[in-house]
A and B are shown apart, each in its own frame.
Chain A
Amino acid sequence: QSALTQPRSVSGSPGQSVTISCTGTASDIGAYDYVTWYQHHPGKAPKFLISDVNKRPPGVPVRFSGSKSGNTASLTISGLQAEDEADYYCCSYAGSASWVFGGGTKVTVL
């Protein structure tokens, strides 16, 4: 399984919106609505942000939203805040009880 493709970095000013893309194949993102997103501050445990393409777990701010079209999923952070500066990873179920992550995207708040 090859890793999903994410941009290495995106940046935005406080209050702006940024979108992170996550491109897979017809065997993973294109085949299942089991795309999830995680926020990772280095040195801490990753945090679960989005399940099933676009569902926010309890406690996740509404400014985080997910979507999917074909083989590409996206995470949008609306109203960027300083504490959103972190690494973000997408993940997709890939069939046969296996999962594949993206390479990660570093979000910088200018």
Chain B
Amino acid sequence: EVQLVESGGGLVQPGGSLRLSCAASGFNFGSHVMHWVRQAPGKGLVWVSRISHDATTISYADSVRGRFTISRDNAKNTLYLQMTSLRTEDTALYYCVRDSVWSFDYWGQGILVTVSS
């Protein structure tokens, strides 16, 4: 069974940093592209970032480029999102998502990040 479990969320002040992790199991993690998608309270889903299976190709949404860094450790079956210079508008539920040929086929339960003073 495919499982994606996010961790590392919490309350942080504006300008602060946080690192999210996503532990993957039940599939060959090192063969899949992975994404982060977020959902602000009461709002819709927004794509955040993508990393290729071997981390050679990475892309970001304009709203986070230069502040967020996606990475992965295939030996540990773990995806990361390092978030810096956080803003109140980054407050959201962050989902770890598996890619299957341009589709998001499995999603984690999400982890809440709250940016507030």
Query: Residues of A at under 8 Å CB distance from B?
Result: 1, 3, 34, 36, 38, 40, 44-48, 51-52, 57, 89, 91, 93, 96-104
Contacts and interface: CB of A to CB of B under 8 A. Distances in A.
A52 B44 contact: no
Interface in B35-89: 35, 37, 43-47, 50, 57, 59, 61-62
A98 B47 contact: yes
16 contacts: A1-B62, A3-B44, A36-B102, A44-B109, A45-B95, A48-B104, A48-B107, A51-B105, A57-B105, A96-B59, A97-B50, A97-B57, A97-B59, A99-B47, A101-B46, A104-B45
Contact of B95 (A46, A57, A98): A46
A38 B105 contact: no
Contacts of A91: 45, 47, 104
Interface in B1-55: 35, 37, 43-47, 50
A104 B57 CA distance: 29
Contact of A45 (B59, B101, B102, B107): B107
B117 interface: no
Contacts of B104: 36, 38, 46, 48, 91
B44 A104 contact: yes
Q: Chain B CB within 10 Å — which of A1, A46, A101 has the most?
A: A46
Given A1-B62, A97-B57, A98-B61, A34 B102 contact: yes
Contacts of A46: 45, 95, 104, 107
Q: Chain B CB within 10 Å — which of A38, A89, A99, A104 has the most?
A: A99
A36 B104 CA distance: 8
A93 B102 CA distance: 7
Given A97-B50, A99-B35, 7 more contacts: A3-B46, A51-B101, A52-B103, A91-B104, A96-B59, A100-B47, A103-B43
